[in-house]
Structure 1
Amino acid sequence: MSRYLLDKFLYTVDRDPELVERYREDPAGTVEWWEAEMANRILNCTSDERSTWLEFTEDERRALREHDHVTLFQMGAHPFLTLTLFIAMFERDHGPLEYQKAYGKAMEHITLPYPDITT
């Protein structure tokens, strides 16, 4: 499992409005494309430098495909990254703060100590 790769996915998708929409409409296709094309690019690097070893586990792929922020948090993905991305994708479907409250309610069963989210 790679918390780095999960966070990198959430971070890069959230910063591109077209990717946000693509991930909302086609999560499986977006995850597959992103893993093949973006996962091994060096973050914030302008050249075509790449690493070769980063890939999601099947559990990570499933959680990303299903927009499962609870499982992503339990895997160590940073909750601010999932919250900001998921707000961009789903807040429009709800009234003011309804999505944020539902996001928190879905995680209220998780107790201390929380998963390590250090990066």
Structure 2
Amino acid sequence: MSKYLVNKFLFTIDRDHELTERYREDPAGTVAWWEAEEANRLLNCIDAEKSTWLSFTDAERTALTTHDHVALFEMGAHPFLTLTLWIAMFERDFDEPLGMQLDYAAKLAHLGLPYPDIAT
């Protein structure tokens, strides 16, 4: 897994309200677009500075397109990046206070220490 690329996706999507909404409504389309257009753009550089080799694995692509934060965590995606993005996308779907966060945690409850390595 390219933890760097998955974390970069989560980070950049979360930092743009329009991309966050696009990812919520059309995850497969957003992941495909981002991988084709943004994955190889270097952070904080001019557009001419690009890489050419970065792409998601099939497992990463599937987890991102299905909004599967458990699979992403198990692969080593940073939990704070998924949590902040999931709050932006899904908190509105829960009626009770902290409902989304409690659901997020409950789905990860089966995992014990040591947690997957989140270093990139």
Residue 65 of structure 2 corresponds to residue 65 of structure 1: yes
Task: Tell me the alpha carbon deviations over residues 18-71 of structure 1, each in whole angstroms, 9 at most, x when there is no partner.
Answer: 000000000000000000000000012133210011000000000000000000
Residue 115 of structure 2 corresponds to residue 114 of structure 1: yes
CA contact 2:42–2:50 (8 Å) conserved in 1: yes
Q: Name the residue aligned to 1:23.
A: 23
Runs of 4+ in structure 1 displaced over 2 angstroms? none
State the distance in 2 between where 1:54 and 1:112 align.
30
Q: Name the residue aligned to 1:32.
A: 32
State the distance in 1 between where 2:48 and 2:20 align.
23
Q: Name the residue aligned to 1:78.
A: 78
Q: Name the residue aligned to 1:102.
A: 103
Structure 1: which amino acid aligns with 2:76?
G
CA contact 2:6–2:77 (8 Å) conserved in 1: yes
Corresponding pairs, count: 119
Q: Alignment RMSD, CA only?
A: 0.7
Gaps of 5+ in 1: none
Structure 2: which amino acid aligns with 1:111?
G
Task: Tell me the alpha carbon deviations over residues 51-95 of structure 1, each in whole angstroms, 9 at most, x when there is no partner.
Answer: 011000000000000000000000000000000001000001113
CA contact 2:60–2:72 (8 Å) conserved in 1: yes
TM-score normalised to structure 1 length: 0.97
2:111 partner SS: coil
Structure 1: which amino acid aligns with 2:80?
F
Structure 2: which amino acid aligns with 1:100?
Q
* CA displacement at 1:111 relative to structure 2: 1.0
Gaps of 5+ in 2: none
Structure 2: which amino acid aligns with 1:102?
D
CA contact 2:13–2:19 (8 Å) conserved in 1: yes
TM-score normalised to structure 2 length: 0.97
